[in-house]
Amino acid sequence: MEIRQMEIPRIGEKYTVKTSSGNRAIIIFYRSGKREFYFMDDKQEEPALGLELKDEEARILGALLLGIDYSREEPAARAEALHDNILVEWFDITEDSCIVNQSIAEAEIRTNTGVTVIGVERGGNTIDSPDIHEKLRAGDRIMVTGTEEDIQYFEEMCQGEKNDRS
C-alpha cells in the first residue's frame, strides 16, 4: 500500500491511498471539519464512488475499518454489543486538563483511567499509534479505546473535571 499526503493551501489536506491491486482511495480533510472520500478504480480517471462524511460518520467508518463493531444504539446498549465491551472515542483536551503538557507515559493515562491512546490529532495532522513520550497539548484531539466507564472518566480528565483515580 502506498500513501501520499498533500497540503491543499487554505483548504486542508489530501491523502491518496493506493492499494496493491491498483485501486485508489482519496480522502480530503477540510479545515472546516468536512471530509470527502473518493474511490477510484485502477483504470478510471473519474471516481467510481464519492462520499461527503460528517464528523460522526467519519468516526464510525474509521471504527469499522479498525475492525470494531458498531451499533446506532445508546452508549450503554452499544457497549454491551461490542466485543469485550470495548469502545473507541475522540476527546478534545482543554487547557484545564490535568494531562496538558505531559507525555502519555507521564500522565499514566492507562494506569489512571484504563483507556489506551491510539491517536492524537494536532493542528490538522494525525499521529497514529503515538509513542508514550508524545507530549499532550491543550487543543489536541485524542482517540482512545477502552470500556464505557473508563472512557467517561478519561473524558472528565480531558475537560479538567477530574485528576486521576489515585
Residue 58 domain-assigned (yes or no):
no
Residue 89 domain-assigned (yes or no):
yes
41: number of CA atoms within 13 Å, CB side?
5
Instruction: Please list, residue by residue across 113-140, b when 16 or more beta carbons sit within 10 angstroms of its beta carbon and e when fewer do.
Output: bbbbbebbbbeeebeeebeeebebbeeb
Read off the pLDDT of residues 17-72 as tens digits, 9 standing for 90 and up: 888 888 888 888 887 778 888 888 777 777 777 878 776 677 777 767 766 554 44
> Are 8 and 49 members of one domain?
yes
Instruction: Give the residue-averaged pLDDT of 62-86.
Output: 54
Residue 100 domain-assigned (yes or no):
yes
Read off the pLDDT of residues 99-142 as tens digits, 9 standing for 90 and up: 999 999 999 998 888 888 888 999 888 888 888 899 999 999 99
In sequence order, the β-bridge partners of residue 112 are: none
Residue 152 domain-assigned (yes or no):
yes
Q: Would the pLDDT of 82 be above 70?
A: no
In sequence order, the β-bridge partners of residue 37 are: 27, 51
CATH code, domain carrying 129 = 3.30.70.1450
Q: Range of 39's domain?
A: 2-53
> Are 146 and 90 members of one domain?
yes
Q: What is the CA radius of gyration of the chain?
A: 18
Q: Which parts of the chain are beta strand (E)?
A: 2-8, 12-18, 24-30, 35-40, 49-53, 87-92, 116-122, 125-128, 141-146
CB atoms within 10 A of CB 99: 27
Confidence of residue 93 (pLDDT cuts 50, 70, 90): very high
φ/ψ of residue 154, rounded to 5: -60, -40
> Are 20 and 45 members of one domain?
yes
pLDDT for 67? 61
Residue 164 domain-assigned (yes or no):
no
> Are 49 and 68 members of one domain?
no
pLDDT for 8? 87
Q: Would the pLDDT of 158 be above 90?
A: no
pLDDT for 80? 43
> Are 120 and 87 members of one domain?
yes
CA neighbor of 88 nearest in space, from 54, 53, 58: 58
Structural contact between residues 113 and 104, judged by C-beta atoms closer than 8 angstroms: no
pLDDT for 162? 65
> Are 46 and 109 members of one domain?
no
> Are 67 and 44 members of one domain?
no
Structural contact between residues 130 and 90, judged by C-beta atoms closer than 8 angstroms: no
Q: How many domains does the chain contain in total?
A: 2
**Which of 72-81, 125-134, 155-164 is the least confident region?**
72-81
